[in-house]
Amino acid sequence: MNMSDAIADRRSVRDYKSQAISNRVLRKVLDSARLAPSAHNYQPWKLVVVSEEITRRSLSEACRIRWATDSGSKMMIQKWVAKPFGNAPILLVGCCLEKEAIITYHTGKEAVVCAKWNGFHHVAGSKRVNYHTTASCDLAIALDHITLAAIEEGLGTCWIGAFDEVEVKRVLSIPGEVRVVFLMSVGYPAAWPDARPRKPSEELISYEQYS
Ligand SMILES: Cc1cc2nc3c(=O)[nH]c(=O)nc-3n(C[C@H](O)[C@H](O)[C@H](O)COP(=O)(O)O)c2cc1C
């Protein structure tokens, strides 16, 4: 399969066969994440591969979250994850290590890029400084590689951004400073969903100047 086909064919799959994924296939798909680019090549992320059903069930519970609306909030139960994770045999938990990522902050006069958290901390001290790190972007690139490598193996995936991070960290004993940013289900699709619509290019892309 060529790359254009993989990009065009990828779907969010929310219903899976119970068929197990062999270690060979799983390792190959996971290696596509390892090969992903990251700022300064720091790779400031870790994936936890969860296959035990009892743990997947606990993580499904962490996806029952409250959804904020204009009129208040309502409980959002992701029905497909409740079974659990649409029976996907594998659930990936994407973790970021912000302190191992590139940090950019603004001193008020100039933007400073900092390769080490300690360097940033040295300058910022106890001052509140606006900063951002590349950690979640680096993780997202790695996970996107997985979504495409999975297609080549006949596997489907679904990103999950709606979950209770505190609960996921408790279930997997993830240390305090580590952020859980995305979950992702992986498995053989029970059916291949139809393509979702996309905005036209003119709405997304402009040339030379922003418009
Ligand atoms: C960052 C991110 C977070 C997402 N979170 C969820 C989620 O919590 N639950 C879910 O069912 N789908 C989630 N999705 C899947 C999107 O709904 C889906 O990608 C979008 O509707 C387009 O459909 P497609 O992936 O089939 O093209 C997420 C996707 C992304 C990229």
Rounded to the nearest integer, the mean pLDDT of the chain is 90
**Is the pLDDT assigned to residue 157 strictly greater than 60?**
yes
Cβ of residue 161 lying under 6 Å from some atom of ligand 1: yes
Using the predicted structure, report yes or no on whether residue 97 has a pLDDT greater than 90: yes
Q: Is 64 a pocket residue for ligand 1 (Cβ < 6 Å)?
A: no
pLDDT bucket at 144, cuts 50 / 70 / 90: very high
Residues 6+ apart with CB under 8 A from 48: 92, 93, 95, 172, 174
- For residue 191, the 8-state DSSP code is S
pLDDT band at 113 (very low <50, low <70, confident <90, very high): confident
Residue 76: per-residue pLDDT: 66
8 Å CB contact between 78 and 63: yes
> Widest CA span of the chain, in angstroms?
57
C-alpha 139 to ligand 1 mean position (Å): 16
Q: What is the rounded CA–CA span in Å between residue 121 and residue 65?
A: 34
Q: What is the mean pLDDT of residues 58-74?
A: 81
Distance 86 CA to ligand 1 centre (A): 14
Instruction: Give me the pLDDT at residue 83, please.
Output: 60
91 exposure class (CB count in 10 Å sphere: 0-12, 13-18, 19+): buried
C-alpha of residue 158 to centroid of ligand 1, in Å:
6
Angle CA(133)–CA(199)–CA(194) in degrees, nearest 5?
Answer: 100
